[in-house]
A = this chain, B = another copy of it.
Amino acid sequence: MDQSANTHATRALIELRKKIISGDLPGGMRLFEVPLAEDLKISRTPVREAMSRLAEEGLLDRVRGGGFIVRSFAMSDVIDAIELRGVMEGTAARLAAERGVEPEALASITECVRLLDACFGAGPGQVDFDAYEMLNARFHRELAALCGSETVRREVERASRLPFASPSAFLPNRADIDAFRRSLTGAQEQHRAIVSAIAGREGCRAEALAREHARTARHNLEYILVKDRSLIKRVPGLALVVAG
C-alpha cells in the first residue's frame, strides 16, 4: 500500500499521527481499536493497520497482551535523537568520503547547496524559509544516500525521521527573524563544508562536520526553548515536547 494510496488505513494513519503529535492522544495513553474506529467511521481492520505502522515509526509501543500505547517523549529524547542523527549522518558522510561518490550525486548535492544559497536575500531578514526548509530536507536526504549503501541510507533516514529529529524540527517560527537568519547562514556554511570534505575525500573531517552540524541544531533548539517555547514550530513530534 502506497503512502499516497487513498485507503482508510492511510487516512487513519495520518489522523492518528496528527492526534499523537498534537498531544490530543497523550503519551502513555493506551489506544483501543473500537473507539478509534468509531471516531474515524471505519472498521477495526484499517485502524489496526495504521497502528501497526505507527509502531514502525516509533510513535506507538506494542504492549504485552496486545494493543498499543502512545510513546512518551521528554526533552532529553529530543536532544538524544538529534545527537543520534548527527552520528548517523556523520557516518554516511565519512563512508561517502572514504569510498568516493558518483560524480552526478556530488553534482546534485552541490546544486542543492547552491539553491540553498539562493534562499538568502540581501536584507537581514530576507530568507525564503519555505524553500530553505524543503531544500534542507533534500540536502539531508541526498547526504544519507551519498555513501552508495542502501542499508546505510535507510538507517540514516530512519534516524532523521525519529519523530523529533527532523532536520528542520528545530527551526523557530517566523518571529525572531534576524537571529534565525544568522543561524541559517551558519548551517548553510556547514552544509558547504560537509560537501567539500566529502569531495576532498576527507572522511574524518566530513564526519566531524556532520556531527557538528547536528550539534548546532541542538544548541539552537536549547536556546530557543530557554528563550521562548512559543517560537517553536509545531513540527512532527516536537509539539509533544513543547506541550510536555
Interface set of A (CB-CB < 8 Å, partner B): 1-2, 5, 48-49, 52-53, 55-56, 58, 62, 64-66, 76-77, 80-81, 83-84, 87-88, 90-91, 95, 149-152, 154-155, 159, 162
Are B84's CB and A1's CB within 8 A? no
In the bound assembly, the distance between CA atoms of A126 and B158 in angstroms comes to 42
Please judge, given known A-B contacts A65-B1, A65-B2, whether A91 and B83 are in contact too, CB under 8 Å.
Answer: yes
Q: Which one of B52, B83, B88, B91 contacts A49 once the chains associate, using CB atoms below 8 Å?
A: B52
Are A5's CB and B162's CB within 8 A? no
Are B91's CB and A84's CB within 8 A? yes
Min CB–CB distance A56 → chain B (angstroms): 5
25 pairs of residues in contact across A and B, judged by CB atoms under 8 Å: A1-B62, A2-B65, A5-B65, A5-B66, A52-B53, A52-B56, A56-B56, A58-B154, A76-B149, A76-B151, A77-B149, A77-B150, A77-B151, A80-B95, A80-B152, A81-B151, A83-B91, A84-B88, A84-B151, A84-B152, A84-B155, A87-B87, A87-B90, A87-B91, A151-B162
Chain B residues closer than 8 Å to A155, beta-carbon distance: 84, 159, 162
Q: Most chain-B Cβ atoms within 10 A of its Cβ — which of A48, A84, A91?
A: A84
Min CB–CB distance A67 → chain B (angstroms): 8
Chain B residues closer than 8 Å to A48, beta-carbon distance: 49
Min CB–CB distance A61 → chain B (angstroms): 10
Min CB–CB distance A152 → chain B (angstroms): 5
Chain B residues closer than 8 Å to A152, beta-carbon distance: 80, 83-84
Chain B residues closer than 8 Å to A81, beta-carbon distance: 151
Min CB–CB distance A18 → chain B (angstroms): 21
In the bound assembly, the distance between CA atoms of A103 and B123 in angstroms comes to 55
